[in-house]
Amino acid sequence: MKEISTKELESLLTGSIDLLDVRDPEDFQAGHIAQAINLPPMQVQSAEFAKDKTYYIICYSGNRSRMMGEYLESQGINTVSVKGGMHAYKGAVVR
């Protein structure tokens, strides 16, 4: 599975990407990237994903996003995990 830095993610946010925030809803509401869709782990496992897209995954520190990315990759879904997660992200957030 591919990983990118939060800096690399920031440069991608000027375009259209599918960004999944896999933190709990409370953490998501406390501050998230505007383009992100909140999809906690229990929902990731039951959601449907397009196999011709790439999904960028972020969490708080990067551990959960890596685990969810590995799970989705095992299902044939293209993913990219954001190293350092929201803890390392310095860009604008929505509260």
- Alpha helix locations (H) across the chain? 6-12, 25-30, 41-44, 63-74, 85-88
Catalytic residue among 36, 59, 68, 77: 59
d(CA 17, CA 85): 16
59 is catalytic: yes
Q: What is the set of active-site residues? A: 59
